[in-house]
Amino acid sequence: MDALRRFDGSLNDLSPVRTERLERVVVAGGGPSGLVAALALAREGVPVTVLEKGAELAVESRASTLHPPTLEILASLGVIEPILARGLKAPRTQFRDRRHGPVATFDLSHLDDETSFPFRIQLEQNKVAAIIADHIRDGHQRGDWDCEIRMDHRVHGVRTLGDTAATVVVGTAEGIVDIDCPWLIAADGAHSAVRRTAGVPLHEDVYPEKFLVVSIADDLAAIFPDIENVNYVADPEQWLVLLRTPDHWRILFPLAADHPHPEGEASDELVAECMRGITGDDRSWTILATSVYTVKRAVVDAMRRGRLLIIGDAAHQNSPLGGMGMNSGVQDALSAGRRLAEVWRGGSETVLDEFDRLRREVAVQYVQADSHANWLVLREPDPVKRAAMHADLAAAAADPDRHRERVRRTAMLDAVRSHL
Ligand SMILES: Cc1cc2nc3c(=O)[nH]c(=O)nc-3n(C[C@H](O)[C@H](O)[C@H](O)COP(=O)(O)OP(=O)(O)OC[C@H]3O[C@@H](n4cnc5c(N)ncnc54)[C@H](O)[C@@H]3O)c2cc1C
State in Å: Cα 100 to ligand 1 middle. 35
- Of all protein residues, whose CA lies closest to atom 12 belonging to ligand 1? 325
State in Å: Cα 30 to ligand 1 middle. 9
Q: Is the CB of 296 under 6 A from ligand 1?
A: no
Q: Which residues contact 196 (CB under 8 A, 6 or more apart)?
A: 8, 157
Q: What pLDDT is recorded for position 61? A: 76
Q: What pLDDT is recorded for position 282? A: 86
Relative to the CA of 67, which ligand 1 atom is closest? 11
Q: How confident is the model at residue 310 (pLDDT cuts 50, 70, 90)?
A: very high
Residue 143 burial (CB count, 10 A): 7
State in Å: Cα 373 to ligand 1 middle. 22
Q: Is the CB of 367 under 6 A from ligand 1?
A: no
pTM of the entire predicted model: 0.96
Average pLDDT over the chain, rounded to an integer: 95
Q: How far is CA 375 from CA 64, 119, 236, 320, 354, in A?
A: 18, 22, 11, 9, 30
Relative to the CA of 211, which ligand 1 atom is closest? 1
Relative to the CA of 188, which ligand 1 atom is closest? 34
- State the Cα–Cα distance between residues 258 and 237, nearest whole angstrom: 15
- Chain segment 338-386, per-residue pLDDT in tens: 999 999 999 999 999 999 999 999 999 999 999 999 999 999 999 999 9
Q: What pLDDT is recorded for position 2? A: 45
Contact in structure between 132 and 171 (CB atoms under 8 Å):
no
Q: What pLDDT is recorded for position 273? A: 92
State in Å: Cα 124 to ligand 1 middle. 11
- Chain segment 120-162, per-residue pLDDT in tens: 999 999 999 999 999 999 999 999 999 999 999 999 999 999 8
Q: How confident is the model at residue 249 (pLDDT cuts 50, 70, 90)?
A: very high
The amino acid that residue 23 corresponds to is E
Q: What pLDDT is recorded for position 413? A: 93
- Chain segment 35-56, per-residue pLDDT in tens: 999 999 999 999 999 999 999 9
Q: Answer whether CATH 3.50.50.60 is correct for domain 3-90+122-203+300-381.
A: yes
Contact in structure between 129 and 146 (CB atoms under 8 Å):
no
Ligand 1: residue of 120, 156, 159, 313 to mutate (most ligand atoms within 8 A of CB) is 313
Q: Is the CB of 167 under 6 A from ligand 1?
A: no
- Chain segment 17-39, per-residue pLDDT in tens: 999 999 999 999 999 999 999 99
- State the Cα–Cα distance between residues 326 and 62, nearest whole angstrom: 9
- Chain segment 376-388, per-residue pLDDT in tens: 999 999 999 999 9
- State the Cα–Cα distance between residues 14 and 300, nearest whole angstrom: 26
Sheet with 88-90, side-by-side order of all strands = 65-66, 120-122, 88-90
Domain ranges (residues) in the chain: 3-90+122-203+300-381
- Calculate what percentage of the chain has a pLDDT beyond 90: 90
State in Å: Cα 125 to ligand 1 middle. 8
Contact in structure between 136 and 39 (CB atoms under 8 Å):
yes
- Chain segment 225-238, per-residue pLDDT in tens: 999 999 999 999 99
- State the Cα–Cα distance between residues 353 and 208, nearest whole angstrom: 34
- Chain segment 177-204, per-residue pLDDT in tens: 999 999 999 999 999 999 999 999 999 9
The amino acid that residue 129 corresponds to is A
State in Å: Cα 126 to ligand 1 middle. 9
Is residue 276 pLDDT above 50, yes or no? Answer: yes
